[in-house]
Amino acid sequence: MAVFDGGRRAGDPRGLPFFGSMAIGGVMGLSTRALLRLVLMVALGSLASVGWLSAAAQAATPVSKDEYRLGSGDAVRITVFQNPELSLEARVSESGVISYPLLGSVKLGGLSLTQAEKRIADGLREGNFVKQPQVSILVVTVRGSQASILGQVNKPGRYPLEQADTKLSDLLALAGGIAPNGSDTAVVSGQRSGKAFRKEVDVPLVLAGKQSEDIGIQAGDVVFIDRMPMVYIYGEVQKPGAFRLERDMTLMQALAAGGGLTLRGTQKGLRVNRRGSDGKVEALTPGMQDTLRDGDVVYVRESLF
């Protein structure tokens, strides 16, 4: 019985590996035509394996969904390692292309930085300009992906979305937060999948950590913060005037905000003037625990005795 030791056959005086000796013997016995066919098969198999490895390497480096994607108007700085003549600053055109030496017009709009770097590197390598190009891209100015925030915020304006996963809370932070006279509701409008999009967001829920309310902001979105809801009190109260209508504020709480009733004021016959959806003003006589609405006008009568 043959015994194998480290790929050698026991008793083999040549000391050659068993499989190696078999292969050599088989090759020596082949004709020239068969030998050429064998070499061709081995070469084709090597090329196929190289192509498979290249595809696998590309698939093994997925692009993060949170990576910024280039847009029209963005200014980028492109650097090619050890090739300073190929390094330059360029601005992405409205059609999403830049003009690059040796390559001409290169489409970069909509690509992540990783994809854009690969596209330029592939062009330099396939054109035999640089054997192993190492390309890096830095966004100097973000112009393509911007969103606006308007209304009652401390710093309204247009802000760049430097990250693909920018949230409403991030945009509010860039705008310095909601102003003291701002509402607790943010209205986000824009487009999603080619259709008009509008959503009212309860900002206190966002600040409380409710992730579902902290929606993502996309390029072209507009966030509007309305003025805070107001309630107006006049008549026999200590401090008549306009007051912020807090959430679920009752008539009693509103009177307390106004400093309470004067000595001549009375709780009897309290009247609330409320404008309806049709624009008409209706006079109501609510209870002390009834909630008020934005724009309500509270009147406190003078006591007859």
pLDDT tens-digit readout, 145-155: 889 999 999 99
pLDDT at 269: 84
β-pairing, 146-151 vs 222-227, is parallel
Work out the pLDDT band at 32, boundaries 50, 70, 90: low
pLDDT at 184: 93
Lowest mean pLDDT among 60-64, 104-108, 110-114: 60-64
**Are the C-beta atoms of 217 and 168 separated by less than 8 Å?**
yes
Work out the pLDDT band at 163, boundaries 50, 70, 90: confident
pLDDT at 161: 87
Q: Answer yes or no: is pLDDT of 72 > 80.
A: yes
pLDDT at 243: 95
Work out the pLDDT band at 144, boundaries 50, 70, 90: confident
pLDDT at 10: 43
Q: Which residue has the tokens 């308007």?
A: 150
Work out the pLDDT band at 198, boundaries 50, 70, 90: very high
Angle value at C-alpha 273, between 269 and 276, nearest 5 degrees:
140
pLDDT at 1: 37
pTM of the model: 0.63
Name the CA radius of gyration of the chain, rounded: 37
pLDDT at 14: 42
How high is the mean pLDDT of the chain? 82
Nearest Cα neighbor of 146 from 135, 162, 122 is 162
Q: Answer yes or no: is pLDDT of 61 > 60.
A: no
- Say how far apart CA 189 and CA 191 lie, in whole Å: 7
Q: Answer yes or no: is pLDDT of 137 > 70.
A: yes
Share of the chain above pLDDT 90, in %: 63
